[in-house]
Structure 1
């Protein structure tokens, strides 16, 4: 890695230099919550495998990371077992039976403001409980009972846990939004003063919900009292998430998305995630551009104008394809083979000009023969045998719809906004969709979540992912490039400054200190518009180096790597 690159990374990370890379020989968990990461490690110490630990982490995050961890949302799990078996589990939310294409349009066919984000209609049928329990039952070690799996989460909910400065600040910064729904206000805000570090946060109703899952398993959520409470919460919205909807929900195993990059095998999530396909597409285009133009792209300097220009042009083309071709495969024929082919990548990069930018309006989706949250959360797990799990889960925007199920203690998602409410009209993250992602009953909305595992010599090498809405895919893409192209370790990779571009809007978003003044000026001369923004993503990853597990927790948030 070049000296200038090291200086740029050091400059970006000065304010957060106290955290170090964590190592372990028997297991590693990296998540957004110290409590959740520790719970995962304890499950491994009790004889559980990485699947057991991942499920326990997921349930704990529902308690300790209220803005993104969840029972009322969904997620994706990518797993590589020590025996070589790979599976991907889709427990994304589904549109209820009564959903229809023009749900969020008025009589003039205009999008109704906030209906897809801040009302009961914003919520899809939750999938997290079904998915976590299914993974545990199907692929767990058999050594961990459901009591062991959920008791830590119950304990944190019932007996409380100390709020960190970061979590207290989240509650306080979102007080106005959290006060809009009476039950959410009761649980997550204080009337006497703001939350502060060290306050004990209790969630008694959530503890009881978790206990019902322990007692009845899946039926403790999708049937019985909890299901009745969810339906009761929908009393002001006729027939939205019914008992029938809850009973019909099921997680689904999907075919993993695979690609090859510089001798490594990349395994990621397929539709309804757009992440895996776009990730492989962008890696393919990166290589293809070098081959077509006889340029050593692996020698481009980190975040130089040439590097940022190329990555931006690649990202724009990938996101144009996302808007046209991608959706839930149960409802839409996604041209996976075409999009993932090396030939397609070569075709897509042919019009990239090294000396000038391409306006987004000039970029169209490739011909075929036939959206999202800043408050997502990601965690990575590996056990002593090499079983590896990459999980990204969400309730969409921070604190989802802001609606807490009265008596059950958990916040409902607002994932319905990830559908295309109207072709050509962007969602809250600026993502545009067409008919492929139109609203239909029991359909799953398109997602950017990109849980990924990278193999080296047929063994796990990287386990990574990130929150960040539309920036998720580009963050994972850049993290892989950081390791493979710029020779960073996992901690350097997740901490390195980032930038992001998508098809629309026509600009490069970048973090403070991610672009030097010289680079920014050079990009402007190439025709790019640059916009400074806050943090992009909070990547959490594990690198396997020989027999050592190296945990990288992104310094952008309150992330935690725990190993043993």
Structure 2
């Protein structure tokens, strides 16, 4: 499916709003811009899938000029910071997974945000009432929710470890897009509208995203010269300019004293971040999680993310069942039950490993998964929530039935963005990055052109010493981001990931189920309607899923409720990207055909020209 919007954008450009110097409306036909979206692209020489055509084009440009997957991923991510500012940007963090074709190894970077050193355990309690702040919109729209950002440091580390370009070169496409602007589409305008009440509390955010008090018109051109200037600063001085010096001072000041309007409508609790917190921030090189499923090697992100352990454990739980011979409803029932069991263990055991002894090996042990699979009744849903397993005493045998726990509190939100890149040498990147909420904290750093995250709301709201995700100074909040690379006989078979808060895990898991077990091709697997069971009494589902499977799954004891929340008008789950690697060397890049306005898949060459070579590619530093 191809979405052509150039003519539409040009036709309504005359209606574009007049805006400030930060966000400028001008004729959409004045300069060719990337607006066409293809959800599937097949070819050779490298491929990319993102939610945005400008970002995908930036990655393809880098690949065509001889850059590798790491270079292209950073270029795409920086461009998403321009065109998808409510989901990503240097005010947030993320997880970067890389397959090195030369060594055959998978490595990862943990660029998750951290809590400030002065963060108290009761940071989310309103001192005036002694009760927790209302999560939405009070707590998410605040300085107290802002974690020390890790995205800029992630880009620099990825280029140092695996790239061929310097940060200055990798940022050039994004700087160009920020300066000349991009065409506002329906999704960008709607996300602005959804956040209008929050954004209106801050002078800097109003100036950038609500010029004249209104959201930018569909078809207008949105420019962000302040972000271009910030990127140029990083290009010139490296990320030291972000974590030290005037920019760091401005970030810390913004967190401690958000730039509120004269009469804000929200309480906007202040935060605790200091310049020392920024100076002390470190990204972490990590080993990936690894497990086997149906003969494939599945690599994911280790804690502080719960993605790798939870996706991996759920696959281990499903391994004993022959899902490919089941009716789709029965396979989906098993998917729900496996997901609930894995989420129970996620809630009980997973947190930042610098603060919590996470039993990663046990959670990914096939024997543990087999023992958990014994709890699945093939003809009836278990009462949710289910109890976590015993990670210290298991042998793969079926245990006695256990009583359920109380519901797990889950405050993660739906935003974030994901990208997938492969190059002609066979290197692969799966990268999920975020500012958490759609619109993050709602706070733009004045004069710098980017929103700050609200990632600290991923901590449990009320402090519990036994909770692995309790608030602690310097700690990384538990994440659900699940960038995943799957190998077949040591070579890439599939790379995929998604945004969506805790539904990231279920989106990745369901897509693998669709592709590996249910016989769908990768385009079908990614586009299929979704549902998420996260060890709760109800299953969150897209309307199309309810229409297709609702009555049959209800008969098995599942209660399905429509997706959607207070910060989006769309009843959808995730916005995934993927690349599949064919045996003949052909790459199939896949993005969403509809969700979040549709995504953008591109390849370097659509002709019959197999890729060749291996490894990083030539160094150009």
Q: Map of 1:290-309 to 2, 5 A cutoff?
A: 290=321, 296-302=322-328, 304=329, 306-309=330-333
Q: Map of 1:438-449 to 2, 5 A cutoff?
A: 438-449=470-481
State the distance in 1 between where 2:44 and 2:286 align.
31
Shift of 1:493: 1.1
State the distance in 2 between where 1:455 and 1:64 align.
32
State the distance in 1 between where 2:256 and 2:351 align.
30
Question: SS of the residue aligned with 2:544?
Answer: coil
2:242 aligned with 1:221, yes or no? yes
Instruction: Select the residue among 544, 554, 560 that pairs with 1:513.
Output: 544
State the distance in 2 between where 1:423 and 1:319 align.
20
State the distance in 2 between where 1:434 and 1:196 align.
49
Residue in 1 that maps onto 2:224: 203
Instruction: Select the residue among 542, 550, 557 that pairs with 2:588.
Output: 550
Change (3 A) 1:347 1:393: same
Question: SS of the residue aligned with 2:468?
Answer: helix
Note the alpha carbon deviations across 1:14-53, whole angstroms, 9 max, x for none.
xxxx955201200101011111111011111111110111
The answer (yes or no) to whether the contact 1:373–1:394 under 8 Å persists in 2 is no
Shift of 1:331: 0.7
Instruction: Select the residue among 230, 235, 241 that pairs with 2:273.
Output: 241
Shift of 1:342: 1.1
Note the alpha carbon deviations across 1:453-496, whole angstroms, 9 max, x for none.
00012100101000011110011001111111122222111101
Number of aligned positions between the proteins: 526
The answer (yes or no) to whether the contact 2:540–2:561 under 8 Å persists in 1 is yes
| TM-score normalised by structure 2 residue count | 0.82
Instruction: Select the residue among 138, 154, 158 that pairs with 1:135.
Output: 158
The answer (yes or no) to whether the contact 1:489–1:543 under 8 Å persists in 2 is no
State the distance in 1 between where 2:487 and 2:433 align.
23
2:599 aligned with 1:559, yes or no? yes
Residue in 2 that maps onto 1:170: 191
CA RMSD for the aligned pairs? 1.9
Shift of 1:532: 2.3
Change (3 A) 1:421 1:20: closer
Change (3 A) 1:271 1:209: same
2:492 aligned with 1:465, yes or no? no
Residue in 2 that maps onto 1:456: 488
Instruction: Select the residue among 110, 126, 135 that pairs with 1:90.
Output: 110
Note the alpha carbon deviations across 1:324-355, whole angstroms, 9 max, x for none.
10000111100111111111112112122122
Uncovered stretches (5+) of structure 1, i.e. residues with no partner: 1-17, 291-295, 425-432
The answer (yes or no) to whether the contact 1:71–1:128 under 8 Å persists in 2 is yes
Structure with the largest fraction of helix = 1
2:387 aligned with 1:357, yes or no? no
Q: Map of 1:4-43 to 2, 5 A cutoff?
A: 19=38, 21-43=40-62
State the distance in 2 between where 1:243 and 1:69 align.
22
Residue in 1 that maps onto 2:426: 386
State the distance in 2 between where 1:396 and 1:219 align.
24
| TM-score normalised by structure 1 residue count | 0.90
Residue in 1 that maps onto 2:529: 497
The answer (yes or no) to whether the contact 1:116–1:416 under 8 Å persists in 2 is no
State the distance in 1 between where 2:256 and 2:342 align.
42
Shift of 1:193: 5.0
> Which one is further off, 68-77 or 95-104?
95-104
Uncovered stretches (5+) of structure 2, i.e. residues with no partner: 1-36, 258-268, 394-410, 564-570, 605-621
2:181 aligned with 1:155, yes or no? no
Shift of 1:434: 5.4
Note the alpha carbon deviations across 1:403-435, whole angstroms, 9 max, x for none.
1111211100000100112268xxxxxxxx952
State the distance in 2 between where 1:325 and 1:192 align.
46
Instruction: Select the residue among 101, 118, 123 that pairs with 1:103.
Output: 123
Change (3 A) 1:56 1:407: same
2:84 aligned with 1:53, yes or no? no
> Which one is further off, 192-201 or 178-187?
192-201
> Which one is further off, 277-286 or 346-355?
346-355
Instruction: Select the residue among 116, 126, 144 that pairs with 1:121.
Output: 144
State the distance in 1 between where 2:75 and 2:272 align.
30
State the distance in 2 between where 1:280 and 1:455 align.
14
State the distance in 2 between where 1:118 and 1:525 align.
41
Note the alpha carbon deviations across 1:522-553, whole angstroms, 9 max, x for none.
32232221112211111110001121110111
Question: SS of the residue aligned with 1:441?
Answer: coil
Change (3 A) 1:169 1:113: closer
The answer (yes or no) to whether the contact 1:101–1:421 under 8 Å persists in 2 is no
Question: SS of the residue aligned with 1:463?
Answer: strand
Question: SS of the residue aligned with 1:38?
Answer: helix
Change (3 A) 1:235 1:414: closer
Change (3 A) 1:112 1:532: closer
Question: SS of the residue aligned with 1:381?
Answer: strand
The answer (yes or no) to whether the contact 1:376–1:469 under 8 Å persists in 2 is yes
